[in-house]
Chains A and B, each alone.
Chain A
Amino acid sequence: DQQVKQNSPSLSVQEGRISILNCDYTNSMFDYFLWYKKYPAEGPTFLISISSIKDKNEDGRFTVFLNKSAKHLSLHIVPSQPGDSAVYFCAALGNNDMRFGAGTRLTVKP
């Protein structure tokens, strides 16, 4: 069963615009959430995270929002750049159990 879902397999945005990647989870035990970014032929790299005690965490162009009541988080990239084109994985952690979503492929067009 997929406890972490990324329902959009792909997303295409124009350079300079906002990219919004979404992630839903089902398990209330998850209390820490992470986003990883993966380029082709490379392993995923950690991008940004958020604890369940917060509803927002910002790091430069990247902001993660958490809505615990809806069991939903999103990653906002503003402004989007062509170098942001990659697959983004959402991950949820609880009780030392980490679950990943299926990933969303972001393409930022120049």
Chain B
Amino acid sequence: DVKVTQSSRYLVKRTGEKVFLECVQDMDHENMFWYRQDPGLGLRLIYFSYDVKMKEKGDIPEGYSVSREKKERFSLILESASTNQTSMYLCASSLFESGANVLTFGAGSRLTVL
């Protein structure tokens, strides 16, 4: 069964701390994505990557950075966490192909910043 695994399901951090959210996929997918999910706002794209060492900003990249050193791993970094970054973070991956782009999501990482 193919999987996207997010290493941390629940995290509690303090304002100003550096936060790493890790995501690993075992499907050999080229594309990987980081979304955040907030009530009433749906899923908003933070960053995505089409290949190793490549990254593209999504709709809300401010306050975040990403790293993709290996094809299967895509990390989201909060350099200095703030309370407005309290959210559910979802990692996803997909094959690089035109037309249909079905995302496979991880279970999510719920981050609380105090």
Contacts and interface: CB of A to CB of B under 8 A. Distances in A.
Contact of B105 (A44, A102, A103): A44
A86 B98 CA distance: 29
Contact of A96 (B43, B101, B103, B107): B101
A89 B35 CA distance: 13
A34 B102 contact: yes
A72 to B, nearest CB: 17
Contacts of B99: 32, 51
A107 interface: no
B106 A98 contact: no
A43 B105 CA distance: 5
A54 to B, nearest CB: 12
Contact of A46 (B9, B43, B44, B103): B103
A98 B107 contact: no
Interface of B: 4, 9, 35, 40-45, 90, 92, 99-108
